[in-house]
A and B are shown apart, each in its own frame.
Chain A
Amino acid sequence: MNSSFFFGLSTMAYILAMIIYITYLAFKKTQIGITATTVTIVGFVSQTLAIILRWKEFADLSGMGFLRSAPLTNLYESLIFFVWCLILGYLIIEFKFKNRSFGAFVTPVAGLALAFIDISGMSKEIQPLVPALQSNWLLAHVMMSFIAYAAFALSFSTGLMYLIVKTEKRNEVSYIFWTTTLGIFVVLLAAMGIDFLTFKVMVKPEIFIKSYMFKSSFFNPSAFIKILSWISMAVIIFIIWRYGSILKTVIEKFNIGSETLDEITYKSIAIGFPIFTLGGLIFGAIWADQAWGVYWSWDPKETWSLITWFIYAFYLHSRMIRGWRGKKAAIVAVIGFVAVIFTYLGVNLLLSGLHSYGELE
Chain B
Amino acid sequence: MEQEGNRTFIDKIWEFFASVRLAIVIFALISLTSIVGTVLEQRAESAKNIQILTRLFGESLAPGIYKIFDNLGFMDMYHSWWFIALLILFSANIVVCSLDRLPRIWKLVKEPIGPMTEEKLKKFIISREVIVKGKPDKVKDAVTNTLKSVRFNYTESKEEKGYQFFSQKGNYSRLGIYVTHFSILIILLGAVIGVFFGFKGHLNLPEGSVSNVAYSDRNEAKPLGFDIRCDNFDVEFYGRSEMPKEYKSWLSIIKNGNVVMRKSISVNDPLTYEGTTFYQAYYGLISDKMGSGIFIFRVISSDKKTYNLDLRLGDAFQIPGTNISGKIIDFSPALKIDENGHVFTYANQMNNPAVYIDFSESGKHKYSGWILKRHPETWQLPEGHMVEFVDYWGVEFTGLQVRKDPGVWIVYLGCITISIGLFMAFFMSHRKIWVRIVEEKNNTRVVVGATSNKNRVAFEKKIDRIISLIKKNMKEEIR
Could you list which residues of chain A lie within 8 angstroms of chain B, going by C-beta atoms? 128, 130-132, 134-135, 270-271, 273-274, 277-278, 282, 285-286, 289-296, 298, 300, 303-304, 306-307, 310-311, 313-314, 317-318, 320-321, 347, 351, 358, 360-361
Q: How far is the CB of B105 from chain A (nearest CB, A)?
A: 13
In the assembled complex, the CB of B251 is this many whole angstroms from the nearest CB of chain A, namely: 14
Nearest CB of B to A58, in Å: 13
Q: Please determine whether B411 and A295 come into contact, CB atoms closer than 8 angstroms.
A: yes
Q: Would A132 and B37 be within 8 Å (CB), given that A314-B24, A358-B244 are in contact?
A: no
- Chain A residues positioned under 8 Å from B399 (CB to CB): 360-361
| B interface with A by C-beta (< 8 Å) | 20-21, 23-24, 27-28, 30-31, 34-35, 37-39, 42, 78, 191, 200, 238, 241, 243-247, 266-270, 277, 279-284, 399, 401-403, 408, 411-412, 415, 418-419, 422-423, 425-427
Q: Give me the 3 closest cross-chain CB pairs, A-B, nearest first.
A: A274-B422, A131-B267, A293-B279
B238 near A128 (CB under 8 angstroms)?
yes
* Chain B hits for A274, CB < 8 A: 419, 422-423, 425-427
Instruction: Please indicate the chain A residues that have their CB under 8 angstroms from the CB of B28 in the complex.
Output: 310, 314
Residue among B24, B279, B418 having the largest count of chain A Cβ atoms under 10 Å: B24
Contact B426–A130 (Cβ < 8 Å): no
- Give Cα A274–Cα B34 distance, bound, in whole angstroms: 22
Q: Cβ of A291: which chain B residues have Cβ within 8 Å of it?
A: 267-268, 279
Query: Is A290 a contact of B268 with CB atoms below 8 Å?
Result: yes
* With contact pairs A130-B243, A317-B23, A361-B282 given, residues A310 and B267 touching in the complex (Cβ less than 8 Å): no
Q: Which residue of A lies closest to B425 (CB)?
A: A274
Could you tell me if A128 and B401 are in contact, using CB atoms closer than 8 angstroms?
no
Contacts of A361 in B (CB 8 A): 282, 284, 399
Given the complex of chains A and B, what is the CA–CA distance between A286 and B412 in angstroms? Answer: 8
Evaluate contact between B268 and A132: CB separation under 8 angstroms. Answer: yes
What is the CB-to-nearest-CB distance from A289 to chain B, in angstroms, rounded to a whole number? Answer: 7
Contact A351 B38 (CB under 8 A): yes
Q: Are B38 and A132 closer than 8 Å at their CB atoms?
A: no
Interface SS majority for chain A = helix
Distance between A39 CB and nearest chain B CB, rounded to angstroms: 28
Closest B residue, CB atoms, query A272: B426
Of all chain A residues, which has the CB nearest B458?
Answer: A96
Residue of B nearest to A269 (CB): B426
Complex CA distance for A360 and B266, rounded to whole angstroms: 13
CB pair B38 A131 closer than 8 Å: no
| A134–chain B nearest beta-carbon distance, Å | 6
**A277, B418: Cβ atoms closer than 8 Å:** yes
23 contacts between A and B (CB under 8 A): A128-B238, A130-B243, A131-B280, A274-B423, A274-B426, A278-B422, A286-B415, A292-B281, A292-B401, A293-B281, A294-B401, A295-B411, A298-B78, A303-B37, A310-B27, A310-B28, A311-B27, A317-B24, A351-B39, A358-B244, A358-B267, A360-B244, A361-B399
Q: How far is the CA of A290 from the CA of B280 in the complex (A)?
A: 10
What residue in chain B is nearest A291 (Cβ atoms)?
B268
CB distance from A326 to the nearest CB of B (A): 16
Quick check: B34 and A303 within 8 Å, CB to CB?
Answer: yes
Residues from chain A with Cβ under 8 Å of B245 in the complex:
128, 131
With both chains docked as a complex, state the minimum distance between the C-beta of A70 and any C-beta of chain B, in angstroms: 15
Which residue, of A130, A131, A311, has the highest number of chain B Cβ atoms within 10 A? A131
